[in-house]
A = this chain, B = another copy of it.
Amino acid sequence: MIGTADGIFQNLAAGVRDSAFRVRFWDGTERTYGDGDPRFTVAFDSREALDAVLTLGSLGTGEAYMEGALDVEGDLHEFFRVGSHPSVRSPRLGTRDKAMIVAAYVRNRNTLRKARENIEHHYDLGNDFYRLWLDEGMTYSCAYWDETCDGDLGAAQRAKYEHICRKLHLRAGDRLVEFGSGWGGMLAHAGREYGVEGVGCTLSTQQHEYASERFVAEGLHPRVRSELIDYRKMEGTFDKFVSIGMFEHVGREYYSTFFEKVRALLVDGGVGVLHTIGREREAGLDPFISKYIFPGAYLPTIGQLGDSMAEAGLVMTDMENLRLHYARTLDSWAERFEARVEEIRDRFGERFVRMWRFYLHGCSSGFKWGDLRVFQITFTNGLNSALPMTRSHVYVR
């Protein structure tokens, strides 16, 4: 077993630039792979842990890491960089494992009832938990690290909201609808800075309560409000639409439903911004992320978005790929998470801490070296010829 693994690790070290790492096997044997100083040591406490990594890809690795059967000493980020090399990224799953993954996706399909369970699974871990390591504005999506934010997470999240408001060409009195309004950061910004009338929906009770209190505290209620409701149940007429980091939870089979709903809510020529993680090529969600972090989630391609939006009569006017902005956001979250890790461990236990650490670092590596992207798409409902001809209003005030 160690012999087989030895060859695999040698090939890996040869294939990845500037990689050197050490492996400690369960019998105490240590081997070093690659040239230079090793940046991390992977320790396997059993033959089974090694086997899980070699045969089950990210799912096996993640589970072994969660349970402590696999540990990474040193630079965890570097471990993911090496691990995201194409030669190890495709798990050699058998038919049975593949069938289980598909079955899990189907089981978690976002029907009205299941969508609520899927959302509660992650977002109702508790406002106290997210408050520990999110920015002060409680934003849980990719920030926008422009020149103004000086490396500060809160500033980068505000810059993101401002960036989107400019793309939306928001004006006082605009009626703005948001799908997946979370803890209310976007609507609070748009309500405060642009004087819009805003309504958002979320399926997380804790997010809804937090957002509602926030809108009252900021004096924005009832002009700005949150509803605890599925996006498919939203009603009304709106000038502008926004959705940030929610489309990942919609699921492939509901894209038409989603965009038809957007079209039905927007006035003719209404403007929208859709901000979502995506990828170039169609693929299932990472099995570890799907099982432990985001059940029911699915990431769109540009091709799928282009076709689905067109089908609903929406006109894509702009697309910005914010890939590295999400890597930097996740790195910031991981750092803040570690700063409060004692409190998190006390409340949720070591397994939870390791699961989240694997998730945050793994996703960051996916944006840096893997196939994860962020598509921030501006569109109009049918044609709108009254908007500015160029995008300079987003950059020059």
Q: For residue A158, give the distance in angstroms from its CB to the closest CB of chain B.
A: 15
CB–CB B280/A315 < 8 A: yes
Check A317 for interface membership: any CB of B closer than 8 A: yes
Chain A, residues 249-283, CB within 8 Å of chain B (1/0): the string is: 00000000000000000000000000000001100
Residues of B within 8 A of A146 (CB): 389-390, 392
Do the beta carbons of A389 and B321 come within 8 Å of each other?
no
Residue of B nearest to A375 (CB): B316
Is A383 interfacial (CB-CB < 8 Å)?
yes
A contact residues, range: 35 or more
Inter-chain contacts of A318 with B (CB < 8 A): 319-321
Q: Which of A303-340 contact B (CB under 8 A)?
A: 303-307, 309-311, 315-321, 323-325
Task: State how many angstroms separate the Cβ of A397 from the closest Cβ of chain B.
Answer: 11
Residue A145 lies at the interface, judged by CB distance under 8 Å to chain B: yes
Please name all residues of chain B whose beta carbon is closer than 8 Å to the beta carbon of A281 when the two chains form the complex: 310-311
* Residue on B nearest A306 in the bound complex, by CB: B302
A interface secondary structure, majority: mixed
A301 at the interface (CB under 8 A from B): yes
Chain B residues near A383 (CB, 8 Å)? 323, 369
Q: Contact check, A325 vs B280: say whether CB atoms are below 8 A apart.
A: no
A218 CB-CB contact with B under 8 Å: no
Task: For the complex formed, measure the closest distance between the CB of A276 and the CB atoms of chain B, giving whole angstroms.
Answer: 14
Q: Does any Cβ of B come within 8 Å of A396's Cβ?
A: yes
With A146-B392, A325-B389, A396-B396 given, is the CB distance from A310 to B320 under 8 Å?
Answer: no
- Asked whether A280 lies within 8 Å of B302 as measured between CB atoms, the reply is no
- Number of this chain's copies in the assembly equals 2
Interface check A373, CB cutoff 8 A: yes
Option from B309, B317, B324, B389 in Cβ contact (under 8 Å) with A389: B324
Give every chain B residue within 8 A of A320 (Cβ-Cβ). 317-318, 391
A147 interface residue, CB < 8 Å from B?
Answer: yes
A368 at the interface (CB under 8 A from B): yes
In angstroms, Cα B319 to Cα A396, docked, is 19
The answer to whether B280 touches A309 (Cβ under 8 A) is yes
Whether B385 and A310, one on each chain, are in contact in the complex, defined by CB atoms closer than 8 angstroms, is no
Per-residue interface assignment for chain A, residues 228 to 239, with 1 indicating a CB less than 8 Å from any chain B CB and 0 otherwise:
000000000000
Name the residue of chain B whose CB is nearest to the CB of A317.
Answer: B321
- A394 to chain B: which residues have CB within 8 Å? 395
Q: Which residues does chain B contribute within 8 Å of A325, judged by CB atoms?
A: 389
* B315:A306 contact, CB within 8 angstroms: no
Using Cβ atoms and an 8 Å threshold, which residues of chain B touch A316? 280, 302, 319, 321
A–B complex contacts, Cβ < 8 Å, 14 sampled:
A145-B389, A146-B389, A146-B392, A280-B306, A280-B310, A280-B315, A280-B316, A281-B311, A302-B303, A316-B319, A317-B321, A323-B383, A324-B385, A394-B395
A interface residues, Cβ below 8 angstroms from B: 144-147, 280-281, 301-307, 309-311, 315-321, 323-325, 368-369, 373, 383, 385, 389-392, 394-396
If A316-B319, A369-B383 are given as contacts, then 7 extra A-B residue pairs at C-beta distance below 8 Å, sorted by A number, are A301-B307, A302-B306, A315-B321, A320-B391, A324-B389, A391-B391, A395-B395
